[in-house]
Amino acid sequence: MRYSVLLFTLLCPVLLLVGCSEETTVAPEPGEQAQVQEISPEALARELVTQTGWTVAEEHADAAGEVALPQCMHGHWIEFIGRETLADEVAHYEWRVRVGQGEYDVIGLHRIVKERRPWRPVRVRENVFMAHGDLKTFIGCFQPGLLSSHYPAEFGIAHHLATEEIDVWGIDHASTFVPAEATDLSFMADWGLQKHGDDIGTALGVARFVRLLTGSSFCKMNLLGYSGGSAQGFSLLNDETQRPSSLRHVGGFIPVDTGMLNDDPVYTQANCDVIAYYEELWAAGEYGEYSALLLFGEPARDDPDGMSPYIPDLTNLQAALAIATGPFYEGYPNHYWAGEFDENGIPTGLQYTDVDLLIDFMCNAPAYMPTFYTSQSMRAHCTGAEPWTEHLPDITVPLLWVSPAGGFAPWETYTLDVIGSTDITMLEIQLHPVEEQDLDFGHVDLFTADIAPGLVWDPILTWIRDHAE
């Protein structure tokens, strides 16, 4: 019998022990935290272009630099981190963008793009903006080769699309910059689903104005939301339905392995149980949940044959594999990676992703996720009616639904019955018989598997080209 690890039940007490080592503080009520004055994506884009040294298109040259940036209490609004060269004339650019007054009110902005020559990106209409999942980063999800010594730097969907002259942008959420040694996490007490969706909207606006200023189209962008990023994307689209078309940023949506609603009563109750756990954490002053990926990944990297302190009778490497391949909810087949198991059901490896890449992925995870966000992101599945789902029937943008058989999307397709889009394309990945769904292609395999380029990334490329605005 397969060694089954119920991920949520297993990790709750472990993560609670980690969280209790933090100093608990009294947080402001959600929404009370101070905000900077309204952010101008156009002003930010102009500053970004200036700092990066890109050439402004002739039709915008006279206006370049005329918009003055407001002063911010804690420094500049934009910080250029740098540029690195990948393969095939593709470069990776990175910035930090301030979105609030607090120390960690900063998001990351990335661009992976083909260049005509160094520091001169190609001008293309086709584009995609990528929002990463929970306890993940843009690079960890979409360009994992940059974080692994076991894979070439160019391994990742972002580079894969950029070589085909797709302009790839993406975000790192503010929580990804909170260090593990942080003890007072009260600043993230009100970091919920609305903030994550709003920050994606800000980053999208900057990307669109940069593309306009540098000679690419100002057309709306395709948004790819992976895992938690999918829920954040639906939240943003929910809000955009209430704005004039000229103020919307998203022209097409690619929700990857997560929806917003479901109609399965048992699955609904599982989400409700998770919400209760996180609401209890929040009420106790535990505003950030420590990463299970780090908790299991680092021992697997540093002492793979040592015995796990968290799962009896398993080594640290086996415990990491158990977390990677075990079901997230009891009775459901959704898991992160498709595993291999011995005759006793003990995990021995992965079917489609290299184990070294798995460990690199886990060890490069952010340290914390806001508990307020996690509880909110699951509320729609529990109640079916929340502010961020109120206008889902008004969403009409074209949509590509990416659904691995071993992931979460197969249980959340009810979302597609609710939204108003009529242009819906299904990308369903099934490599095992139905009775082996618990062994099938998993949630993270989509971006780390050796076969992902042909199985997942190329169909996404085709859809983007077919839906160029």
Residue 385 pLDDT grade (very low, low, confident, very high; cuts 50, 70, 90): confident
Q: Is the pLDDT of residue 82 over 90?
A: yes
Low-confidence winner among 100-104, 136-140, 208-212, 349-353 (lowest mean pLDDT): 100-104
Residue 384 pLDDT grade (very low, low, confident, very high; cuts 50, 70, 90): confident
What pLDDT, on the 0 to 100 scale, is given for residue 70?
A: 46
Q: Which residues pair with 341 in a beta bridge?
A: 347
What pLDDT, on the 0 to 100 scale, is given for residue 318?
A: 98
Residue 13 pLDDT grade (very low, low, confident, very high; cuts 50, 70, 90): very low
Low-confidence winner among 15-19, 35-39, 269-273, 442-446 (lowest mean pLDDT): 15-19
Q: Whose CA is closest to 404, among 395, 396, 413?
A: 413
Strand 368-370 versus strand 78-85 pairing type: unpaired
Q: Is the pLDDT of residue 27 over 50?
A: no
Distance CA(148)–CA(34), nearest Å, equals 38
Strands (E) across 245-297 are located at: 250-256, 288-290
What pLDDT, on the 0 to 100 scale, is given for residue 76?
A: 59
Show the tokens assigned to 71: 């002063």
Residue 7 pLDDT grade (very low, low, confident, very high; cuts 50, 70, 90): low
What pLDDT, on the 0 to 100 scale, is given for residue 284?
A: 96
Cα atoms found within 13 Å of the Cα of residue 87, Cβ hemisphere only = 12
Cα atoms found within 13 Å of the Cα of residue 447, Cβ hemisphere only = 29
What pLDDT, on the 0 to 100 scale, is given for residue 11?
A: 56
Q: Is the pLDDT of residue 126 over 60?
A: yes
What pLDDT, on the 0 to 100 scale, is given for residue 260?
A: 95
Residue 26 pLDDT grade (very low, low, confident, very high; cuts 50, 70, 90): very low
Residue 71 is classified by DSSP as P
216 vs 64: which has the higher pLDDT: 216
- pTM for the complete prediction? 0.92
Whether 202 contacts 97, CB under 8 Å: yes
Residue 16 pLDDT grade (very low, low, confident, very high; cuts 50, 70, 90): very low
Low-confidence winner among 180-194, 374-388, 428-442 (lowest mean pLDDT): 374-388
Average pLDDT over every residue of 224-248: 97
Residue 331 pLDDT grade (very low, low, confident, very high; cuts 50, 70, 90): confident
Residue 362 is classified by DSSP as H
Average pLDDT over every residue of 149-178: 98
User: pLDDT per residue over 235-245, tens digit each?
Assistant: 999 999 999 99
Percentage with pLDDT > 70 across the chain: 88
Q: How far are the Cα atoms of 26, 32, 178, 288 from residue 190, in angstroms, in the given order?
A: 12, 8, 15, 11
65 vs 177: which has the higher pLDDT: 177
Q: Which residues pair with 428 in a beta bridge?
A: 403
Average pLDDT over every residue of 220-238: 98
What pLDDT, on the 0 to 100 scale, is given for residue 67?
A: 43
Residue 381 pLDDT grade (very low, low, confident, very high; cuts 50, 70, 90): confident
C-alpha dihedral over 100, 101, 107, 108, to 10 degrees? 130
What pLDDT, on the 0 to 100 scale, is given for residue 48?
A: 96
Distance CA(322)–CA(428), nearest Å, equals 25
CATH of 41-265+370-466, one of 1.10.10.10, 3.40.50.1820, 3.40.1410.10, 3.40.50.720: 3.40.50.1820
Whether 399 contacts 421, CB under 8 Å: yes
14 vs 162: which has the higher pLDDT: 162
Distance CA(94)–CA(342), nearest Å, equals 43
Whether 96 contacts 52, CB under 8 Å: no
Q: Is the pLDDT of residue 61 over 60?
A: yes
What pLDDT, on the 0 to 100 scale, is given for residue 34?
A: 36
Task: List Cβ neighbours of 19 (8 Å cut-off, separation of 6 or more).
Answer: 281, 286, 288, 289, 290
Distance CA(76)–CA(69), nearest Å, equals 9
Q: Is the pLDDT of residue 6 over 90?
A: no
Average pLDDT, the chain: 90
Average pLDDT over every residue of 339-368: 98
User: pLDDT per residue over 258-308, tens digit each?
Assistant: 999 999 999 999 989 989 899 999 999 999 999 999 999 999 999 999 999
Q: Whose CA is closest to 130, among 460, 408, 468?
A: 460
Percentage with pLDDT > 90 across the chain: 82
What pLDDT, on the 0 to 100 scale, is given for residue 294?
A: 97
33 vs 124: which has the higher pLDDT: 124
**What DSSP element (H or E) covers 325?**
helix 316-325
